[in-house]
Structure 1
Amino acid sequence: MSGIVVKTRPGASHLQHGVWSRYVQPIVVILLCLIAVGIPLWLALITSAKSQGEANLPDLSLPSEWHLLDNYAQAFSQGEVWRGLFGSVLVMVPAVIGVILFGSLAAWILARRSSRWAAVLYSAAISGIILPPAVVTIVLLLRQLGLASTPTGMIFVYMGMYMSIVIFFITGFVRTIPLELEEAARIDGASPFGIFFRIILPLLRPVIATATILVCLYIWNDVFYSFFVLGGGSTTTLQLNLFQIASSNLYQNNWNLIFAYVVISSLPLLIVFIFAQRRIISGITGGAVK
């Protein structure tokens, strides 16, 4: 008994692959994004517009009576949003500028050195990506330096924490820049700092934009380290302020106000991320994977 051989057209597999890549794959990605991002975002928005009784049993249904403006106004006034926003900006802006500047300088030097010691230093510099900071040691050190519960101490902590990420991103990008540009500038009499600020730094704008946005996201959403470093001081951040008022009797069982505060504190960087997402992707693919 002879077997039956089924013949398929040569272009059938290509046609199926084209249908998958053009229609099925985008639909699957959109559904996954809706589940991972859309549902939590919808829950936060809807709960922030509900009454206290409905918000205590959070679900995805629309509120029976909308309290959107009242909840946001109450969260704004009682939650001291302006004070938390000032503290977040006061800590984030100097920390980001410092870590980008010094991280770029270190990445440029490490990328242009090929010795064994340079490789060891680079490994040590990016080790902070996988090694968690020792919180107790940091707090004790800041107390001895007189920087505990101060914005300056928090700025130095953030710079030390995220320096490894900046060096990792920018080093790979610097290696793609032709060395001949620096040699030509050196022949023309440019100093090392002149070469960096006039030639290297302008070429690093895509990856610097990526590193800046990522570090801003990390610092803006941080509660853990700010609690230990800034706790007990006069300076607070949006996320630390939310933790403190949610733990007190002010927002106890008031999930509508808590979610309203969450939405308010998330809006600034959410808007920045929406408009800067292309720069993030281009910076990652342009430097970190090379």
Structure 2
Amino acid sequence: MTAVVSYKRHKNLWVRFVQPVVVIALCVIAVGIPLWLALITSAKSQGEANLPDLSLPTSWHIVDNYVQAFTDGEVWRGLLGSLLVMVPSVIGVILFGSLAAWILARRSSRWASVLYAAAISGLILPPAVVTIVLLLRQLGLASSPAGMIFVYMGMYMSIVIFFITGFVRTIPIELEEAARIDGAKPLKIFFTIILPLLRPVIATATILVCLYIWNDVFYSFFVLGGGSTTTLQLNLFQIASSNLYQNNWNLIFAYVVISSLPLLIVFIFAQRRIISGITGGAVK
């Protein structure tokens, strides 16, 4: 009996005190230190930034570094390019993904199960970059925003279908049957009944897809490389590889902070929607 009481006491001590301290320490190591390093390095002089550490700068160059990174790095050009490919990609993948998820969720046949498995296979199967680039060249879409939009839509369609299909299955089918009795067509049922009910999971999918597209540099390098359109992350890679930012780690980190701010702010205010959308649909 004494051993059981001692075990419960140690377990409560672990849950109440030790476990939160361990979680906070891991968060500080995984997130806090890299974030602090980026912020501090972006405020240092070139000489100090070339030897990055966690110490404060001896002289602060915040305004000079950020102004130079903004102007020389052509942040406005990269921002417009990111929005040019991200906004249509997100709208397209959410619209077509929602329609596909609605149809797949309302079908219980073997073929529907096969199609659903094929639709979400993109979650584990990586895109074939070489094949994509060759196909875009054949279609005349290489190095163009339209080609990048189609690539992003194809890449993240599986995520949207996976999230929304589970959520649609929680919506009573009687709502659709009542609309059909009133003479409503399938598209009208979807846009007037189903789509408004999907707002929580659509918000989750939208935020996640925006984060993926905003931070992507790998696929944009192969698809947009050599064209006139660039994104923030691709532009950072290009200027960091050129002589413009060579050994200027203070400017590189300043650019990183500038390019991370928009979606970081969105993520902070929308993290509750992400969690509610995941728990409300994807795991059901």
Give the alignment's TM-score, normalised by structure 2: 0.97
Distance 2:14 2:197 in 1: 38
Deviation at 1:25, TM superposition (A): 2.2
- Taking the TM superposition and a 5 Å limit, the aligned residue runs for 1:194-209 are 194-209=188-203
Gaps of 5+ in 2: none
2:114 to 111, 114, 120: 120
- The aligned counterpart of 1:227 is 221
C-alpha deviations, 1:9-36, integer Å up to 9, x for none?
8766555444433333222211111111
**Counterpart for residue 28 of structure 1:** 22
Matched, 1:185 2:179: yes
Q: Residues 109-153 of structure 1, C-alpha deviation per residue, up to 9 Å, x if partnerless?
A: 001100000000001001111111111111111111111111111
Matching residue within 253, 256, 265 for 2:247: 253
**Identical-residue share of aligned pairs (%):** 87
1:70-81 correspondence runs (5 A): 70-81=64-75
Which residue number corresponds to residue 277 of structure 1? 271
> Quick one: distance in 2 between partners of 1:127 and 1:175?
20
**Whole-Å separation in 2 of the counterparts to 1:57 and 1:227:** 29
Matched, 1:264 2:258: yes
Task: Name the counterpart of 1:174.
Answer: 168
Task: Give 5+ residue unaligned stretches, structure 1.
Answer: 1-6
Greater shift, 101-110 or 187-196, is seen at 187-196
What TM-score, normalized to structure 1?
0.95
Query: Residue 144 of structure 2 aligns with which residue?
Result: 150
- Greater radius of gyration (CA): 1
Amino acid at match of 2:152: Y
Residue number among 30, 40, 62 corresponding to 2:56 in the alignment: 62
My pick for the range that moved more, 151-160 or 175-184, is: 175-184
- Cα RMSD between the aligned structures? 1.3
What is the aligned length?
284
1:95 to 58, 64, 89: 89
CA shift, 1:203, in A, is 1.1
Correspondence for 2:100: 106
Task: Give CA-to-partner distance per residue, 1:212-259, whole Å, 9 cap, x none.
Answer: 011000000000110111111110000000000000000000000000
Provide the secondary structure at the position in 1 that maps to 2:126.
coil
Q: Deviations over 1:28-53 (max 9, x none)?
A: 21111111100000000000001111
CA distance in 1, matches of 2:17, 2:114: 47
Q: Match for 1:112: what amino acid?
A: R
SS at match of 1:49: coil
Corresponding residue for residue 240 of structure 1 = 234
